[in-house]
Amino acid sequence: MRSSAAPTPALLLPLLLLVSLVATLLLPAGPAAARGAVVDPMVGAPQRGECYLLTRQQADTEVANPVAARDCQQVHTAWAAGATEVPESIPLSAQSTALQKFASRACGDLAGRYIGSGKAYATSTYLRYVFLPSEELQAQGARWVSCVVAAQKSGQLQRTTRISPLRVKGLNPEPVAACLDAKRRVLACEFAHRYRGIAGTTVVGRMTPERAATLARRYCPRKAGRGYLASTRNVEDNIHVLICWRRTRK
């Protein structure tokens, strides 16, 4: 599914959903498992630092981990942050709420160690995606979820030849600090933009559009002025960052 929501004039709805999962079927045990052979649950799992050339649509909708890793010196749009084994007690199905929660936490941990977390991640252009093993790998006994990170640019994934992503620190981390274009899509502030994220505060608990709007009215005017926009971004389980956007002239 897509990992952003359409903005409204006064309040950007939560821009990013951290888990890109769609329906998939549980697979029966493969030939190796049937024979009682030793199975490696991490078979075929990507290694941190692998690069992929994905479109935003592929990243938002595909379930299986990208298999066409490429030389990171070539143009690419995403990097693997790693993979984590899924416990046997959790169904390896994208329909499983337990798997979605496990995958979200796992990807948050993997990406946090790779590119950073918290407010720095929330006010950057980075996205996090979760993928499952392919059907072929699942038939061989694979039981893992992978985490892939990418930078967004105006509704697409930004193409780059950077061998590894920049690790973000602090609020609005340059050069991947997030701004908004004329259509209120996220892109790096080095490109022409209309709004810049200039403040963020951590919010704990369930987030709804109504709660986000109330918090924005209290917090953003003194940070970003009367013409502010606001959005929330989920960074961990029940932990969000409220971002205030100030209009710029660039």
Spatial distance between the Cα atoms of 1 and 56, rounded to a whole number of angstroms: 11
Residue 4, pLDDT > 60, answer: no
Spatial distance between the Cα atoms of 112 and 107, rounded to a whole number of angstroms: 8
Share of the chain above pLDDT 70, in %: 85
Residue 8, pLDDT > 50, answer: no
> What pTM was computed for the model?
0.82
Mapping DSSP to helix (H, G, I), strand (E, B) and coil, where does residue 186 land?
Answer: strand
Q: Which residue has the tokens 């002239």?
A: 249
The number of beta carbons lying within 10 Å of the beta carbon of residue 31 is 10
What Rg, from alpha-carbon coordinates, does the chain have?
19
Q: Write the pLDDT tens digit of every residue in 176-212.
A: 999 999 999 999 999 999 999 988 899 999 999 999 9
Q: pLDDT value at position 37? A: 66
**Host H or E run for residue 202:** strand 195-204
Q: Which residues of 60-71 are buried (b: 16+ CB within 10 A; e: fewer)?
A: bebbebbeebee
Copy the structure tokens of residue 184: 């209120």
Which has more pLDDT, 237 or 99?
99
| Under 8 Å between Cβ of 150 and 124 | no
Residue 228, pLDDT > 90, answer: yes
Whether a cis peptide bond, with omega within 30° of 0, leads into 46 is no
Under the banding of pLDDT at 50, 70 and 90, the label for residue 226 is confident
Q: Write the pLDDT tens digit of every residue in 50-78.
A: 999 999 999 999 999 988 899 999 999 99
